[in-house]
Chains A and B, each alone.
Chain A
Amino acid sequence: MKKSFVAAAVASLLSVGLAAPSFAETPPNMLVIANRIDDIKTFDPAESFEFAGADVSRNVYEKLVNFDPLNLDAGYRPQLAESWQISEDGKTITFTMAQGHVFASGNPVTAKDAEFSLRRAVQLNKTPSFILTQFGFTPENVEQTIVATDANTLVLTLDQPYALSFVLNCLTATIGGIVDMETAMANAADGDMGSDWLRTNTAGSGPYKVVAWKPSESVLMDLNPNYAGAKPAMERVIVQHIQESATQRLQLERGDIDVARNLSPEDVAGLADVDDVKIVDELRGRLMYFSANQKNKMLSDPKVFEALKLATDYEGMAGSFLKGQYTVHQAFLPLTFLGALEENPFSYDIAAAKAALAESSYPDCGPIKISVRDAQERLDIAQSLQNTWGQIGCEVELIVGTGAQTLDRYRAREHDIYLGAWGPDYPDPNTNAGTFAVNPDNSDEAGATGFLAWRNAWDIPEMSKKTLAAVVENDTDARREMYLDLQREHQKVSPFGMMFQQIEQNGMGASVENFVAGGATTAVSYWVITK
């Protein structure tokens, strides 16, 4: 027995070098993706707020309304709710549930599940809960404001009239995922409404269910046999955590994966001539910007900041080290959002920048510290700013730190210039307008760290009012115009230098079709993919 064990082991070892297992391609009904997924902390829609988590959630949980991945521009569409009505006073929305949707457990989806899911998201009060609580829902009032009047009807009562599009857009966010109440409560402990169990398990009615999750290693999803929609071509989806771009590229070239999601510009260029591999570009919602702390006297001089915006080489950066990964965009709403402004009024003009500086109270400029995290693309941008701002006489020092260190300084309003990125939390213009152009109270004591305007000590009572007026405007065209005007004004007077919008470049096998990473508004949708 012992001898045969050893012999088998040795034979197996020897055979490895001669015939290592390799597969020319992944099976036709299986999608294998390489991605950085070490940010996943939980699958619970009430708590999940990370990119990789949103990717999983979108494929596991259905929502009252949702986006069609093959027509994202069309906006929200009915999903678990087949229709909705808004009351005359604009404060009550009544949803009628669609029939035929079933959870992976076999339980039918009812309005009670929707009531449970939205209530628990408010009651658990986790980070993304603000997406719902901004409509006046509180843990104390949800039993009156989120009510399933019967199995087919859900009634939401808001604290004031809001634009219907604003409310419904928010319900398409991850936190709007509808959870199987019976399964969640069967696994609840210590009054957590199943939160601990839902951290590592899923209970949705979407096309897939999570079968296994190894943190920072892999997520395995199989079909939800009860899914109400057309059966997806990909019966199994495996997302592997592969940190390095070069490794993802090798795997893609070998055919071991179908999609590589974190390719560097060099690896994208390297794949250009590889057979059976293609690169698909997609505009995402992430914006790159720099901002000036208005507690700094010099930087609060509008002419100084104008000079800095004119001394920024937008096209130069987008055409060199950011090539293919970012496009120049100078407004706070990402392109494809309702009311996104396409005008880019600033371009690299050293003469104009010097003229603006000369008109300021600080014609010789002064020392400026740029606070930047230790990520390559941000360091490259910071160095470019250091160089071009130096050309107008500003002495620029880079303060490099980890993401957390840099963020801490930003939230404490201790920076001069912060160089960072911002992504939308939900697919409505208010997600960015409500932070770039609202400051409820500029005092230090207010601690309104969720507002970027506050973090930069930018006191804007009038602009805040205009921004908040846009969330209650029910005429979509009028609402669009309001955001366009806001952005134009913001470009002129704000201490924000909006620079770029992200383009995601995904490498994939030539046969992979319909891979939609989610655009600027949502996350990836595996169920429409074929290969």
Chain B
Amino acid sequence: MAGTTHGEGRLRPPFPPWLTKTLTTLATVAATIIGLLFVTFMIGRVMPIDPVLAVIGERATQEQYDQTFRDLGLDQPLLMQFWIYVSDVLQGDLGKSIRTGQKVTTDIARVFPATLELASLGTLFGVVLGVPLGVVAAVRRGSWIDHLARFVGLIGYSMPIFWLGLVGLLVFYGILGWVAGPGRLGIFYQGVVEPITGLLLVDSALRGEWTVFRDAFSHIILPASLLGYYSLAYISRMTRSFMLEQLGSEYVTTARVKGLGEWQVVWGHAFRNIRIQLVTVIALAYANLLEGSVLTEIIFAWPGLGQYITTSLLANDMNSVLGGTIVIGTIFVAINIFSDLLYRFFDPRSK
């Protein structure tokens, strides 16, 4: 076929490659989010819960019920309801929460930074401790440190986060008093720092309010460590597994035969080759934490996205659930795109 051969007869693509790739990515993102919205919307509508009652409560009269039914647009066909919702979303209107009485965008702007801050710190702990632990466990396979890494991983997988959170609070807050209690900030510091990003640690640092920073850190350290521990368990286990595979490869043997130092072999060669896989693992771990760690947020009274979506779902507050779904969907897509970019950075072949 002339159009598919190399040389002068080849058809020129209608757009430059970068534009084609960008458009493809954008189309994929849009299709993913629309699909996600459609599924969530339909689940919300077919759930055996009456959304009108969620608004007006069980004491309302039939007249008030009918009025609210119409106000919510429930008298429209299902697909029309979805179309109206998507049209509003495209104009930046995620609707109003029936649970908080506020705009969903306002609610999300309040709860998302709390989750972002917690998940980021948790992932940071997980990566900083989990990656070296996994590498050392693989290098010293069968040693006590390997056993320790596997034990840590096992506990991380098997211990209910709810229980571990309560024990953590009891020991470090209740008994030892090393950290502050539930919530993001002590009552004495509420409203002291004017928000810039919504991230309390960042805002207090930017404003130079170090007492507030210290209090915020004292509040976040325990839940972040807890989430970090679960990330660590996953990341260290995967790192160990990837490293074992690399350390058994011929090129590692060759490097050792050439007389390279162990440090150079492990970090210079073997580790370099697991970076791409690690990026995926870390990205997934981060995305999972951003999606919201509902139980951690409940125990630590952390007003984050996970708790927001779960409470909204139970109250059949579908605007909030859909708004949260958009945010989470966007996060997953953004993290995937970011991972792709990192692949290109770490793997010359993908360039």
Contact = CB atoms under 8 A, between A and B. Distances in A.
Interface in A380-398: none
B166 A404 contact: no
Contacts of A253: 174
B169 interface: yes
A160 interface: no
B59 A240 contact: no
A20 B49 contact: no
Contact of B56 (A127, A242, A402, A447): A127
Contacts of A401: 48
A247 B299 contact: yes
Contacts of A125: 63-64, 67
A126 B301 contact: no
Interface in A18-42: 20-23, 26, 30, 32, 38, 41-42
A5 B205 contact: yes
B124 to A, nearest CB: 12
Given A49-B59, A243-B301, A250-B181, A212 B214 contact: no
Interface residues of B, number: 60
Contact of A246 (B49, B102, B166, B217): B166
Interface stretch (B184-192, B238-246, B336-344): B184-192
A401 to B, nearest CB: 8
Interface string A338-351: 00000000000000
B38 to A, nearest CB: 23
A147 to B, nearest CB: 25
Interface stretch (A54-62, A216-224, A293-301, A497-505): A216-224
Contacts of A5: 205
B174 A200 contact: no
Interface stretch (A88-96, A110-118, A405-413): A405-413
A216 B311 contact: yes
Nearest to A242: B301
B221 A16 contact: yes
Contact of B60 (A15, A20, A127): A127
Contacts of B63: 125
Given A127-B59, A247-B301, A447-B62, A16 B217 contact: yes
A64 B166 CA distance: 46
Contacts of B217: 12-13, 16
B307 interface: yes
Given A5-B205, A21-B186, A254 B181 contact: yes
Contacts of A256: 181
A23 B181 CA distance: 11
A293 to B, nearest CB: 17
Query: Which label, helix, strand, loop or mixed, suits the secondary structure of the A interface?
Result: mixed
Contact of B218 (A16, A30, A214, A407): A16
B298 interface: yes
Contacts of B205: 5, 9
B187 A449 contact: no
Contact of B173 (A12, A38, A254, A407): A254
Contacts of B210: 8, 12
Interface in A223-259: 238, 240-244, 246-247, 250-251, 253-254, 256
A450 interface: yes
B101 A405 contact: no
B183 A240 contact: yes
Point out which of B58, B64, B169 has the most chain A C-beta atoms below 10 A from its C-beta: B58
Contact of A212 (B179, B180, B190, B213): B190
B100 to A, nearest CB: 4
B203 interface: no
B101 A250 contact: no
Given A12-B214, A407-B53, A411-B58, A214 B110 contact: yes
Interface in A398-427: 401-405, 407-408, 411, 425
A209 to B, nearest CB: 15
A247 B169 contact: yes
B50 interface: yes
Contact of B54 (A8, A23, A217, A404): A404
A17 B64 contact: no
B315 interface: yes
B178 interface: yes
B186 A450 contact: no
Contact of B101 (A200, A242, A407, A448): A200
Contacts of A408: 48-50, 53
A212 B56 CA distance: 25
B61 interface: yes
A177 interface: no
Contacts of A32: 187
A45 interface: no
Given A8-B210, A449-B62, A216 B299 contact: no
B177 interface: yes
B278 to A, nearest CB: 26
B261 interface: no
B17 interface: no
A488 interface: no
Contacts of A425: 59
Contacts of B174: 250, 253-254
Point out which of B62, B166, B301 has the most chain A C-beta atoms below 10 A from its C-beta: B301
A215 interface: yes
A84 interface: no
A260 to B, nearest CB: 12
B177 to A, nearest CB: 5
A429 interface: no
Point out which of A22, A125, A129, A425 has the most chain B C-beta atoms below 10 A from its C-beta: A22
Contact of B100 (A8, A216, A240, A450): A216
B169 A250 contact: yes
Contacts of B316: 404
A20 B218 contact: yes
B64 A126 contact: yes
Nearest to B300: A247
A212 B187 CA distance: 12
Contacts of B113: none
A22 B180 contact: yes
A316 to B, nearest CB: 30
A162 interface: no
Given A20-B178, A250-B169, A250-B174, A41 B183 contact: no
Nearest to B102: A215
A241 B214 contact: no
B106 to A, nearest CB: 9
Nearest to A408: B50
Interface in A415-467: 425, 447-450
B215 interface: yes
Given A215-B102, A250-B169, A251-B181, A404 B190 contact: no
Nearest to A47: B101
A130 interface: yes
A15 B181 contact: no
A8 B217 CA distance: 13
Nearest to B187: A238
A242 B183 CA distance: 8
A450 B60 contact: yes
B316 to A, nearest CB: 6
A128 interface: yes
10 contacts: A5-B205, A16-B179, A41-B100, A128-B59, A130-B59, A215-B102, A216-B307, A238-B187, A450-B58, A450-B60
Given A41-B99, A212-B191, 8 more contacts: A13-B217, A20-B179, A23-B186, A32-B187, A41-B98, A215-B110, A217-B303, A251-B182
Interface of B: 48-50, 53-54, 56-65, 67, 97-102, 107, 110, 166, 169-170, 173-174, 177-183, 186-188, 190-191, 205, 210, 213-215, 217-218, 221, 298-301, 303, 307-308, 311, 314-316
Task: Give the top 9 A-B pairs by smallest Cβ distance, nearest first.
Answer: A215-B100, A404-B49, A217-B303, A250-B174, A127-B60, A20-B218, A41-B101, A447-B62, A199-B101
